[in-house]
Structure 1
Amino acid sequence: MPFLAPSFARLPPLAYLLADQTEPRKKISRHLGVSLRTLQRYQASGNAPRAVYLALWFESRWGMAALHAQALNEAQHARAWVGSLERECERLRGVIRALESAQGQAAANSAVFDAF
């Protein structure tokens, strides 16, 4: 699975990340493991450690959109893979039917095979 976190150059500014949060600043600071005063200093300076940026990014609309897009892509990929396996099973059933009809008699395991 690829890394979902953006490079530092592709992260939105700290002010945008903080403005995107709906929770109170005290709860955000607790989530980040810093004091409210530290979060206020980060906001005033417009700079924070990368871990803070990433934590806020994953909680923002940008991070959630990236996670949802990844989940959708994986679900579509899995469905396509299942579809290809179903088509392969049907092709192999056709091969078995053709071989059985060419032989003139049913296979020893035909009762088990026909149950599916």
Structure 2
Amino acid sequence: MKKTSKGEKISAAMKGRKLTEEHKEKLSKAKLGKARAESTKEKIKKTLLGQKIDTLKQDHPLILKTHNSRSHLTAENVKEIRDLYTNAKSNSIRKLAKEFNVSRHTIHSIVTYRTWNQL
């Protein structure tokens, strides 16, 4: 029988439970203003990207804008976003979204190659 850690036991016990709106609000207020350590930020980044983290740290090719004609970003912007996110430790999706004036979802989609992928 596999030994489960304390965190895994808690996770299994909490599976399927829904938080009330009041509880969600209290949790968000409790976390407000807390700065995360660099190691924590790296763990979050690895969690968000999953298995793709190993393939992302490479030179990102330019992709022509003709594939995404309605985009607010240019191919140079996309290349810069990927380079900044994967190669600089202090850059987060939130910071890049604010810098390029797009949503966090857009930045995440670009970094994970869901949009602006090589055709």
Alignment TM class, shorter chain as reference = under 0.3
TM-score computed with the length of structure 1 as normaliser: 0.26
**Structure having the larger proportion of residues in helix:** 1
The structure that has the greater radius of gyration is 1
Q: Which has the higher contact order (CA 8 A, sep 6+)?
A: 1
